[in-house]
Amino acid sequence: MKRWVALGKRLSGADGVITLGVKPNFYDYSPEERGLILNSDTILYPTTNYAQFFHTMGKRIFPSLESYLYSDDKIKQTSLFYLLGLLHPKTRFYFGRQKRDILRDFHFPFIGKLPRASAGGRGVFLIGDENELDNYLKKTKVAYIQEYIPHERDIRVILIGYEPILAYWRIPKEGFKTNLIQGASYSFENIPPSALDYAIYVSKACRFNDVGLDLLPHRSGFYILEANMHYGRRALNAKGMDLKRILLDKLDRGVIP
């Protein structure tokens, strides 16, 4: 059996995977551990701490370097989506005095997000008037403003190795947030095959090979809302899916890294 070396704990305890943990200094690892890292051609879950270094050294990593570079950074994700020509809601960023132009570019209501640390719907605000805008601007140095598109539900597609493993509708309990952690419900029924096809296209274009993509139906296609590298497990658990087993199977089949 091939032995895999991992730093992050996603595969901790899995057969054939040696999980070393994440240490801030390379020389915090024992000589044996350093040897395992340096002699392995592949490192699983290198984390943000080490992903770029292993990439530079020519080692294969999983998830991809891009999965770390764009994780939890909405500004970078939006810029990438636009550069790749992907359909994405109208979004602009405002720095310093540029914030005065928000109401020139957008009409109420619109969405304001904290560019970072807003996973799970936290740090996402529906702004309906100038008072709510002022309150939002007090929370962030960089304003991330996005058009509000009324919708009853959206689609989360989880992909590993660019293959969809699960897709489901996310239905808000109330308001506009469809995050399960915010009380939204889910449904596995009637997922359009075209949503899976588009999710595959987006994940490959962005080189996100371990990701939950949020899609919003739009006319004959889909908006890509955002990419979540730290996607939740509730829907996976509800389907009785063992993520470690799925990952190990893909490793054995060479689908990843």
Give the start-to-end residue ranges of the domains of the chain. Answer: 4-62, 90-147, 154-253
CATH 1.10.3720.10 is held by the domain 90-147: no
pLDDT at 232: 85
Output the pLDDT for position 172.
81
- For the 154-253 domain, the top CATH level (class) is alpha beta
- Going residue by residue through the chain, which has 257 residues, state the pLDDT in tens, using 9 for 90 and above: 578 999 999 999 999 999 999 999 999 999 999 999 999 999 999 999 999 999 999 999 999 999 999 998 999 999 999 999 999 999 999 999 999 999 999 999 999 999 886 665 678 999 999 999 999 999 999 999 999 999 889 999 999 999 999 999 998 876 565 565 556 788 999 999 999 999 999 999 999 999 999 999 988 899 999 999 999 889 999 999 999 999 999 999 999 98
Separation of alpha carbons 159 and 236, rounded Å: 12
Question: Pick from 31, 3, 35, 38: which is nearest to 19 by CA?
Answer: 3
CA distance 191 to 170: 11
154-253 and 90-147 share a CATH fold: no
Give the pLDDT score at 199: 98
Amino acid of residue 20: L
Residue type, 232: G
Specify the pLDDT at position 180. 58
Strand order of the sheet with strand 163-171? 185-187, 163-171, 154-160, 210-218, 221-228
Integer CA distances (angstroms), 14 to 41, 62, 229, 243, 247, in order: 19, 16, 21, 11, 10
CA angle 196, 198, 204 (to 5 degrees): 105
Side chain identity, residue 16: G
Tokens for 195, please give them.
């949503």
